[in-house]
Structure 1
Amino acid sequence: MTTAAPPPGRPPSRRPAWVTAPWLMLLLPVLLSLVDAALVARGSSWWENGLSVLAAVALLLRRRLPGPVLLLVLPGSYLNYIWIAPVTAVYTAAARWSRTWLSVLCATVFALVEFFHWPLSDHPLALDRDNALYAIQCVMLAAGPAALGLLSRTRLELAARLDELTRGQERESRLLAERVLITERGRLAREMHDVVSHQVSLISIQAGALQVSSSDPAAVATARTIRELSVRTLEELRQMVGVLRTSRVRTDVPPAPQPRLADLERLIEESGLAAETEVSVGGRAWPEAVERAAYRTVQEALTNIGKYAPDAAVLVRVRARGSVLRVEVRNGPPALRPVGALPGGGHGLVGLRERAQLLGGTMTAGPTGDGGFEVSADLPAAGS
């Protein structure tokens, strides 16, 4: 395993990981306070030294209970000249509490305890230079850790704010990219509508002309079907493009009806294929998503058969198996090659598979042993 090289111009860090370990940061002030208590232990009684040791040990709880720890530290500071324990307690209180006046109160209490130190006879109250210097010393001794604690808390708050602003900028950039993508999709939808509607309109016009000029009843019926399908395609295309171009949902316009299982018969008739149909969905009411997925599966399969095997025998079977609706569309081998290769992107079957997976089902498609093709889907009602 190779180690990443440090950035150019920056020396490699040789500081071991244990230097900044959390346990060391917790124990180091405690150890220093015990050393401080040992240095001032000479000449003190056992209970004064006990209060100094209590002040040092109480620092173990300073992060969870900064206020009570400061109260436990002050007696030892009042009776003995220990400084590390109270300074650490004041710093922790200022760094943990979000209210500045509490930090100022802690520093003030510590300064008063230091100034009126036991015994009081060591510092008689008088307006002289010694008392003034000692008062300044006590204020600086208390204000220093309080200021450092406030600075540490402010730094953490600024870091959190900066991180929040960074995430907000990333979110805004992502939303802007999505908005640009939606706009581009709307533009492509308009272009698709212009191109496809023009071509389908020409097909409809040619079918209408054939319907009027032809004397063959079969040709007239085929031309009528082509014209009806063209008109319906244009209407669906306009609705889809309208949804893509609309920035908000209109509640005053009812949505177009979605295809259901009852529309399968008309779909198979309009396909123009010689299809054998078996539809047995049982007496239960299937969810709308399941019926729509079954309809789209049959529609896509018949469209592909019309492209690649229009003269083949077709079997459409839709059956209920408990709470699962099974859809099968199978065609035999084509007798003739289709005239002209119709374009196809291969996205139809992918969309069917994704639709089935969203319902908790499966969809398979592949060639059969006799040279035909089969599309089958299992659509559970529980997954809708």
Structure 2
Amino acid sequence: MNRVRALWERVPAPIIDVVLVAAAAVDVWANLWDDTRLGIALATLGCAALAFRRRFPLGVFLLTLPVALTQPVAVAPLAALFTLAERSRNRPLLAGCVALTAVANSTPWPLAGLTEVGRTMTLITFVYSLATAAAPVLIAQLLQTRRDLARRIVEIEEAREHERALHAQAVLARERAQLAREMHDVVSHQVSLIAVRAGALQVAAKDADAKEAARTIRSLSVTTLDELRTMVTLLRASGGHATELTPQPTLNDLRKLVETSGTHAELKGELPPTVGTPAQRALYRTVQEALTNVRKHAPGATACVELWQDGDGIGVTVTNTPPTRPSLSLPGSQQGLVGLRERAEILHGTLDAGPTAEGGYQVRLRIPLSAD
């Protein structure tokens, strides 16, 4: 049933109109009763009007009534009545149209023959015609109800999907709020202690290198606290209101990043000003992650950050020397380089990382210049 309905819906409307007009004309030709010029003209007008039944259903129905009155036909008036009932929700109007169709079909033509047919036969014909005319109206109303139910089902599914989305957002908001509390109560507190202790060490230390190391630790701790506060603010946002984000880093911030990285690093090279914002952010995050790894895993090493352009590609290479002293065991997620590779793939770029022949480490990112 659904397959037949799908095939029927694929048939173009003009073809259906042509077939219906032809069927009505064949019906008139096979059951021609009034072959006068008037009768033929009314029949032709009623059949041709079926082509416009979708735009003017009531008008076309009225034009087919003379055909039902003058000729013993069924296709033209019933087709027009079906179209009207499929598009109208006015039940009294439809009932009146059914009655008019039954009257037109049961009234003898010419009217002078009413006495010859008799009242009883006319009444029987009227009842039969009434039942015949009611059938397409009931079928059309059934199809109309079916369309309404299908539309209602779609609306219910959309409402349920919207409700599921709202529920998921509520769960996510609770999880984000809980994570924000944990970050605020635990991580921020510990980083604050680090900043305080580093400040005290900077004041009390007499060695210049110790003072510089304490200053770097304090500066990084303060920067980390600012970023944590921003992350806590974002996590506490419910998602339904706009949240003002802090400016994302660009290439202009690289020099400051290198200078405050806590390592002996040098920045070389330049990139054209036409580099897109996503590419600038990827370059910045790559340098940030690489210098963080140098600070954690290669104490005492020197690093070189080189920006370069290679044909239609741009990139950055961060190379560090071997460490000069043993590294401390620090916690890590082991996801830094994985995240950088994913960011590079999104921009259709590549990220290569691995040890160098001299015992150091190198991270190289290349991004197409046209990356958005």
Contact 2:264 2:303 in 1 (8 A): yes
Q: Distance in 2 between matches of 1:262 and 1:16?
A: 63
C-alpha displacement at 1:191, in angstroms? Answer: 1.0
Cα deviation for residue 281 of structure 1 reads 2.8
Residue 163 of structure 1, CA deviation: 1.4
Is the alpha carbon distance of 1:200 and 1:83 closer, same or farther for their aligned partners in structure 2, counting shifts above 3 Å? same
Distance change in 2, residues 1:105/1:336 (3 Å) = farther
Q: In structure 2, how many angstroms separate the alpha carbons of the residues matched to 1:327 and 1:199?
A: 33
Pairs aligned (count): 363
Matched, 1:300 2:300: no
**CA drift at 1:216:** 2.2
The structure 1 residue matched to 2:151, chosen from 149, 153, 160, is 160
Aligned to 1:199: 190
Partner of 1:281 in structure 2? 271
How far 1:379 sits from its partner (Å)? 4.5
| Corresponding residue for residue 344 of structure 1 | 333
In 2: Cα distance, 1:330 partner to 1:124 partner: 113
How far 1:317 moved relative to its partner? 0.5
Matched-pair contact (CA < 8 Å) for 1:225–1:270: yes
> What is the one-letter code of the residue matched to 1:165?
I
Cα distance, 1:71–1:357 mapped onto 2, change above 3 Å: farther
Residue identity in the other structure for 1:240 = M
SS in 1 for 2:77: helix
Alpha carbons of structure 1 residues 110 and 355: separation in structure 2 relative to 1, 3 Å? same
Deviation at 1:206, TM superposition (A): 3.1
SS in 1 for 2:260: helix
Q: Is the 8 A contact 2:356 2:362 kept in 1?
A: no
- Contact 1:319–1:325, Cα closer than 8 Å, also in 2: yes
Secondary structure class of the residue paired with 2:73: coil
2:248 is aligned with 1:262: no
TM-score (normalizing by structure 1) = 0.74
Partner of 1:8: none
Contact 1:267 1:299 in 2 (8 A): yes
Over 3 Å counting, the alpha-carbon distance change for 1:16 and 1:237 in structure 2 is closer
After TM superposition, give the deviation of residue 228 of structure 1 in Å. Answer: 1.8
The 2-side partners of 1:107 and 1:209 are apart by 98
8 Å CA contact 2:85, 2:94 repeated in 1: yes
Q: Does 1:22 align with 2:16?
A: no
Percent identity over the alignment is 37
The alpha carbon displacement at 1:292 in A equals: 3.4
Match of 1:227 in 2: 218
Deviations 1:213-251 (A, max 9, x none): 433221122112111211221122112211221343467
Q: 1:317 aligns with which of 306, 312, 317?
A: 306
In the alignment, is the contact (CA less than 8 A) between 2:258 and 2:266 conserved in 1?
Answer: no
Distance 1:53 1:23 in 2: 28
* 2:317 counterpart SS class: strand
Inter-CA distance 107–125: structure 2 relative to 1 (3 Å threshold): farther
Structure 2 gaps, min length 5: none
Contact 1:90 1:106 in 2 (8 A): yes
Residue 179 of structure 1 is matched in structure 2 by: 170
Q: Aligned in 2, Cα 1:180/1:52: closer, same or farther, shift over 3 Å?
A: same
Q: 1:23 to 1:71 in 2, by over 3 A?
A: farther
The code of the aligned residue for 1:22 comes to W
Distance 1:24 1:71, change over 3 A: farther
**Secondary structure of 1:189's aligned partner:** helix
Deviations, residues 18-75 of structure 1 (Å, cap 9, x unaligned): 698529997999999899779856x876997999899889979877885676467545
**What is the alpha-carbon root mean square deviation over aligned residues?**
4.4
